[in-house]
Structure 1
Amino acid sequence: MKKIAYLLSVMFLFSAFAPAAMAKGVKKEKTELTAEQLVRVGEIESRVAEIKSMDFSEMSKAEKNSVKTELKEMNKEARALNNGVYLSVGAIIVILLIVILLT
């Protein structure tokens, strides 16, 4: 039974990291932000600073929710501008479980 578990975990490990290994030789060019994108990043930063300085104790629940959704949208937009690679919490947990099973 242990042999099957090890075999399956190794198979999943290789299938998870094989695309990354194949793409290792491909170099991604760093793209500079355009003037419009830089302006938008500045607007997002100033709006986040305004939101941080707000007093949430005097706001209604609907106003708090609208500010929260606005922050989420700005976060998504900033990530799209940055072109970064992010690992989700679920992916990190799966990787840790595989490492634990293999040791």
Structure 2
Amino acid sequence: MKKLIYIAFSVFMLVGSVNVAQAAEGKEAKELTEQQQVKLNQITQRVEEIKKMDKASLSQAEKQDLKAELTTMKKEAKAISNGGIYLSLTALLVIIIILLIL
């Protein structure tokens, strides 16, 4: 049983480390075009407006719309900037489980 756990752990770690390695070596600081910078600034301003809103007075449907809008803006911002290091959730869970077992 322990062999199976260690093999599974190794596989999950290898799968997770591939994403981190690709993110670390393949990404250089990319210059944003003027249009991308404008779009990123618009997204930032809209997020700040939403943060300053009084959300207690909104209806449930309006809150859901705001949440959906924030989600799409977050995806757009990530697509524009292409930043960050990616580590798979599976690898993190396996690490935690192995630490608990040992």
Q: Percent identity?
A: 39
Letter in 1 for 2:78: R
8 Å contact kept, 2:16–2:91: no
8 Å contact kept, 2:12–2:91: no
Counterpart position of 1:28 = 27
Structure 1 stretches of 4+ with a deviation exceeding 6 A read none
Counterpart position of 1:39 = 38
Q: TM-score, normalised by structure 1?
A: 0.72
| Structure 2 unaligned regions, length at least 5 | none
Tell which structure's C-alpha radius of gyration is larger.
1
Distance 1:53 1:13 in 2: 42
What is the alpha-carbon root mean square deviation over aligned residues?
3.1
Distance 1:71 1:24 in 2: 25
Q: TM-score, normalised by structure 2?
A: 0.72
Partner deviation per Cα, 1:77-100 (whole Å, 9 max, x = no partner) = 1111121233354442123334x2
The 5 Å alignment of 1:47-58 reads 47-58=46-57
Counterpart position of 2:62 = 63
